[in-house]
């Protein structure tokens, strides 16, 4: 062999060896953090042996001899599967993201330092029930047992960002709970958005797009004196929207379905319950399935990684589900700085000192950022988050009005203890004591038990207000707009064993005008509750299989009604072009089901997106319009209100000389939709299938960059459904049509068999890409499937599941 040949072979062998070595190095880098799920581990701090069985989907079933060991083991398995997710969430809530992510997250850190959830968590920790405090301490010990014994074996994200996790504290679990409440808080967004609208349109127009209020609340536009401040609040909304985009949290949506039928409407002779909370659907899933068992405690369901109890689930006696109660639990107050002393503000006839302190934000590979955080008696000054207002403190511009936020999530409440009581309850009365403890986020709680009871409670703290309009920022200096306490729990809407034999919750209005208190005006449109109620009246008795089909239902009453309004405009189509006539034929023959293969669904959704833009954007401007449609429930409802009237000035395009009517805007919106679809999907209308553009991708925070998206993201996949179907898959109106919100978990329980349930989450138990359980539930979720969960220990021990034993 020639010398050149030998060199070539040598180089080739070296390259191959290098590639093999690189492959095994990368494989080790990824798999080194995969959890040990079989064998035995000795851990100091345990009282006794804990058995952890993992089923075929890696759902852990924990059997402990006391609650201390159960919470310790819960912290340990959470850390095994979701440590980086837990760390990222606590850093977000602390305002410490920039320490690991650098300059791009400084504004998010300013936001959460200003809201000051850390101080809130400290207050809660100091005042919480002793049992809850002990649960958190034991849970933290379990998390820390994992952290301290796995140095060098942390998930891949820690290596990529070159840092290690800090030890877990009880306050970190409280922080994650409050961060979740913040992300589900709807009222603050609508208040600020309507403040922006009030500053930019005449009072008569403003009143037209107010969602219908209870009769007891006055509807009036804010005074002209307040409009200067209201016009400058977009930046705060933009920071929070950017935060949600960065962490793949989608648009501001918190809709959900939950329903239960009693024994008379169940073929098994015991109640049936179903729940599917609609939330942003990132990767990994926000939920972690788990089964907790110790003396007096045997419950399964989903938990939030970083917190130790089951949030939605069932035990030997009962099952429960949650939907957002859509309560108005936040207000904004415009404050006046004292004209003499910039460190004081005006309240009634005197001045008070701002609560002020400095915060130092450490920034990776950049200089630290120092901010001053201020608060009044109403709450934090959120207008300070706006970068342009950070410098106002040192000069005469301190006279600029400031915006303070009053939110129930900044008060002390004891959710952990409440869910602990719910996990262990065996009767409606015991369960109710747990519901009573939930302060934020406000929830509609649907319940069923083995005794045949079904029930509903409203949880959360709802402020008692006066007659002022609570959907725009108010004057804070007068003292006339203060909260007057909270609605007593025993006066909150609730139901027990209704005559119709079922209870259903789909974020609808939960009290009529006879109710003495204002709750909210943030309700979802009635499309889903109308359809669910129809389904629950469609037969005398139901089964688990029926409920599975109901959770997959794709019929939209909202689309039915809106298409009817559109077709009235096109009674005479003799002058319509061929493309418009073809589209109208699809709509006329539509069954209003949002299936992946449907053409009419595509046409309708594009039409609706353009209808929103053509109706509102000319008056609001692009920025305010984007804020208005970010929380979809409001534009859905308001647009329905406007279309129900004979005329509205909103339909006129103020940028043209011609005065447009409702019919003009409907026609223009259909034309715009057909033009868009022709460009994006081609000339052949038969190819405009909904699933082609309506896709879902479960996105990881690292998945926004190529080629990392191929490793960390799950998808895309075509998806059925829409924003007004029971099987909900909402997209952003400003960037259609990829799914941003969907069923984050599906749960069905037949109380004839309380030891089992049917569940599915969007991705999988593991938070680690390339682990087989990172996305193994996704095929089930996409195809309407479930896996069966058992809390029967005789059954569990008969299975050939992996068993990890934790020994003291």
* Interval 531-545: pLDDT, tens: 999 999 999 999 999
> What does the alpha-carbon distance between residue 764 and residue 56 come to, in Å, rounded to a whole number?
11
The pLDDT score that the predictor gives to residue 12 is: 52
- Lowest average pLDDT, out of 227-241, 263-277, 584-598, 638-652, goes to 227-241
Asked if residue 19 has pLDDT above 50, the reply is: no
Q: To 5 degrees, how large is the angle CA 741–CA 744–CA 746?
A: 130
**CA–CA–CA angle 523, 305, 147 (5° rounding):** 160
> By mean pLDDT, which of 273-277, 401-405, 474-478 is the weakest?
401-405
Split at pLDDT 50, 70, 90, the class of 232 is low
For residue 667, the Cα-to-chain-centroid distance in whole angstroms is: 35
d(CA 599, CA 136): 52
pLDDT of residue 471: 85
pLDDT value at residue 228:
60
Residue 20 has pLDDT above 70, yes or no: no
| Mean pLDDT, residues 396-406 | 69
State residue 389's pLDDT score: 42
In degrees and rounded to multiples of 5, residue 747 shows phi and psi of: -135, 135
Cα separation, 706 vs 713, in Å, equals 11
Tokens of 568: 């009235």
CA distances (Å), 24 to each of 18, 29, 31, 697, 773, in order?
Answer: 10, 8, 10, 29, 21
- Residue 229 is predicted with a pLDDT of 61
Contact indicator for 620, 628 with CB cutoff of 8 Å = yes
pLDDT computed for residue 235 by the predictor: 73
609 within 8 A of 672, measured Cβ to Cβ: no
Q: How far apart are CA 142 and CA 60, in angstroms?
A: 15
* Position 242 pLDDT exceeds 60: yes
Q: Quick check: 395 pLDDT over 50?
A: no
The mean pLDDT of 303-313, rounded to a whole number, is 98
For residue 194, give the nearest of 331, 15, 335 by alpha carbon.
Answer: 331
C-alpha to C-alpha distances, 49 to 40, 65, 188, 298, 300, nearest whole angstrom: 10, 7, 47, 17, 20
Average pLDDT over residues 653-676: 96
Helix (H, G, I), strand (E, B) or coil at 806: strand
Q: What is the pLDDT of residue 330?
A: 95
* Whether residue 37 has pLDDT greater than 50: yes
What is the pLDDT at residue 5? 56
pLDDT at 574: 75
- Token pair, residue 661, equals 């009517």
pLDDT in tens, 696-715: 999 999 998 899 999 999 99
Per-residue pLDDT, 443? 97
- Which of 566-578 are b and which e, b meaning 16 or more Cβ less than 10 Å from the residue's Cβ? beebbeeeeeeee
Backbone angles phi, psi at 69, to 5 degrees: -65, -35
Query: DSSP state, 168?
Result: P
In 3D space, the residue among 721, 696, 719 whose CA is nearest the CA of residue 553 turns out to be 721
Q: Note whether 436 and 484 are within 8 A (CB).
A: no
Q: Has residue 179 got a pLDDT over 90?
A: yes
| Residue 427: pLDDT over 90 | yes
Closest CA to 106 of 233, 267, 242: 242
Give me the pLDDT at residue 18, please. 47
| The pLDDT of residue 213 is above 80 | no
What pairs with residue 696 in β-bridges? 717
User: How sure is the predictor about 167, in pLDDT bands with cuts at 50, 70 and 90?
Assistant: very high
Examine the pLDDT at 594 and tell me if it is beyond 50: yes
Q: In 10 A of CB 712, how many CB atoms? A: 22
176, 306 Cβ separation under 8 angstroms: yes
Q: 657 pLDDT band (50/70/90 cuts)?
A: very high
Task: Supply the DSSP string of 589-634, one letter for each residue.
Answer: T---B--TT-SHHHHHHHHHHHHHHHHHHHHH-HHHHHHHHHSTHH
- Of the chain, the percentage scoring pLDDT greater than 70 comes to 91
Return the CATH number of the domain spanning residue range 557-740.
Answer: 1.10.1400
pLDDT class for 510, splitting at 50, 70, 90? very high
Position 262 confidence tier, pLDDT thresholds 50, 70, 90: very high
What distance in Å separates the CA atoms of residue 67 and residue 69, rounded to the nearest whole number?
5
Strand 369-375 versus strand 402-407 pairing type: unpaired
> Using 50, 70 and 90 to split pLDDT, how confident is the model at 578?
very high
The answer on pLDDT for 219 being more than 70 is: no
Which residues on neighbouring strands pair with residue 303, listed in sequence order? Answer: 288
Q: Which residue carries 């590639």 as its tokens?
A: 19
* CA 139 – CA 177 distance, rounded (Å): 14
Of residues 467 and 26, the one with the higher pLDDT is 467
For residue 11, what pLDDT is reported?
58
Identify the pLDDT of residue 575: 81
Q: What is the DSSP string of 637-677?
A: HHHHHHHHSS--GGGS-TTSSS---HHHHHHHHHHHHHHHH
Average pLDDT over residues 406-423: 97
Q: Which residues contact 267 (CB under 8 A, 6 or more apart)?
A: 541, 542, 543
What does the pLDDT average to over 71-85? 98
Query: Could you read off the pLDDT of 111-128 as tens digits, one per residue?
Result: 999 999 999 999 999 999
Instruction: Count helices and strands (H / E) in the chain.
Output: 26, 28
What pLDDT is stored for residue 397 in this prediction?
Answer: 41
Helix (H, G, I), strand (E, B) or coil at 384: helix
For the ranges 191-195, 214-218, 313-317, 774-778, the lowest mean pLDDT is seen at 214-218
């Amino acid at each position: 062999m020639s010398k050149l040949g030998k060199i070539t072979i040598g180089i080739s062998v070296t390259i191959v060896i290098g590639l093999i070595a690189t492959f095994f190095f990368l494989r080790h880098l990824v798999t080194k953090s995969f959890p040990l799920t079989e064998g035995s581990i000795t851990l100091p701090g345990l009282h006794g042996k804990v058995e952890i069985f993992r089923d075929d989907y890696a759902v852990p079933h924990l059997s402990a001899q006391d609650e201390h060991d159960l919470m310790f083991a819960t912290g340990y398995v959470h850390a095994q599967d979701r440590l980086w997710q837990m760390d990222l969430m606590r850093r977000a809530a602390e305002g410490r993201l920039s320490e690991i992510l650098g300059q791009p997250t400084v504004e998010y850190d300013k936001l959460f330092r200003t809201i000051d959830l850390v101080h809130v968590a400290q207050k809660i920790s100091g005042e919480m029930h002793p049992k809850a405090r002990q649960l958190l301490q034991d849970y933290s010990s379990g998390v820390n047992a994992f952290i301290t014994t796995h140095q060098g074996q942390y998930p891949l994200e820690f290596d990529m960002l070159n840092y290690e996790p800090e030890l877990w504290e009880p306050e970190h679990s409280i922080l994650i709970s409050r961060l979740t409440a913040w992300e589900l808080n709807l009222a603050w967004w609508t208040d600020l958005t309507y403040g922006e609208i009030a500053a930019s349109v005449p009072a008569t127009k403003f009143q037209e797009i107010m969602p219908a209020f209870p009769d007891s609340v006055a509807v009036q536009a804010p005074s002209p004196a307040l409009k200067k401040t209201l016009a400058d609040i977009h930046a705060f909304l933009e920071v929070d929207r950017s935060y949600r985009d960065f962490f793949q949290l989608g648009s501001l949506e918190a809709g959900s379905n939950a329903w239960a039928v009693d024994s008379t409407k169940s073929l098994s002779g015991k109640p049936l319950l179903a729940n599917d909370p609609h939330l942003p659907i990132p990767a990994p899933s926000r939920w972690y399935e788990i089964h907790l068992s110790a003396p007096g405690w045997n419950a399964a369901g989903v938990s939030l990684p970083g917190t130790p109890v089951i949030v939605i689930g069932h035990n030997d006696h009962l099952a429960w589900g949650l939907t957002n109660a859509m309560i108005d639990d936040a207000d904004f107050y415009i404050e006046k700085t004292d004209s003499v002393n910039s460190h004081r503000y005006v309240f009634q006839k005197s001045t008070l000192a701002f609560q002020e302190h400095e915060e130092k934000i450490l920034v990776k590979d950049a200089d630290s950022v120092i901010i001053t955080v201020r608060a009044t008696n109403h709450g934090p000054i959120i207008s300070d988050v706006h970068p342009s207002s950070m410098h106002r403190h040192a000069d005469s511009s301190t006279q600029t009005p400031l915006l303070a936020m009053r939110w129930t999530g900044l008060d002390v409440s004891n959710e952990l203890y409440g869910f602990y009581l719910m996990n262990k309850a065996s009767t409606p009365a015991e369960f109710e004591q747990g519901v009573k403890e939930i302060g934020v986020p406000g929830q509609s709680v649907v319940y069923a038990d083995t005794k045949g009871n079904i029930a509903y409670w409203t949880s959360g703290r709802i402020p008692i207000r006066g007659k002022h309009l609570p959907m725009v920022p108010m004057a804070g200096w007068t003292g006339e707009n203060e909260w007057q306490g909270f609605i007593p729990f025993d006066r909150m809407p609730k139901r027990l064993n209704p005559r119709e034999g079922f209870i259903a919750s789909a974020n609808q209005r939960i009290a009529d005008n006879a109710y003495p208190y204002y709750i909210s005006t943030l309700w979802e449109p009635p499309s889903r509750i109308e359809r669910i109620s129809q389904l629950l009246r469609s037969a005398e008795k139901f089964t688990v299989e029926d409920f599975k089909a109901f959770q997959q239902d794709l019929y939209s009453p909202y689309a039915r009604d809106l298409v009817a309004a559109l077709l009235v405009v096109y009674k005479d189509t003799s002058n319509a072009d061929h493309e418009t006539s073809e589209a109208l034929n699809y709509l006329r023959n539509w069954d209003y089901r949002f299936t992946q293969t449907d053409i009419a669904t595509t046409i309708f959704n594009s039409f609706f997106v353009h209808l929103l833009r053509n109706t509102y954007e000319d008056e609001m401007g692009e920025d305010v319009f984007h804020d208005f449609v970010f929380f979809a429930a409001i534009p859905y409802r308001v647009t329905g209100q406007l279309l129900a009237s004979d005329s509205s000035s909103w339909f006129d395009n103020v940028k043209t000389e011609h005065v447009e009517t409702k019919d003009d805007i409907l026609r223009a919106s259909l034309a715009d939709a057909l033009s868009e679809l022709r460009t994006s999907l081609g000339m052949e209308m038969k190819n405009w299938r909904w699933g082609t553009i309506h896709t879902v991708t479960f996105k990881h925070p690292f998945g926004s960059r190529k080629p990392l998206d191929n490793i960390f993201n799950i998808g895309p996949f075509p998806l059925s459904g829409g924003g007004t179907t029971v099987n909900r898959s909402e997209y952003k109106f400003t960037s259609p049509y990829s799914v941003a919100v969907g069923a984050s978990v599906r749960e069905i329980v037949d109380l004839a068999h309380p030891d089992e349930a049917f569940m599915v989450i969007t991705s999988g138990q593991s938070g680690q890409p390339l682990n087989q359980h990172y996305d193994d539930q996704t095929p089930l979720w996409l195809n309407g499937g479930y896996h069966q969960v058992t809390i029967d220990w005789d059954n569990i021990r008969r299975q050939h599941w992996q068993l990890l034993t934790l020994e003291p």
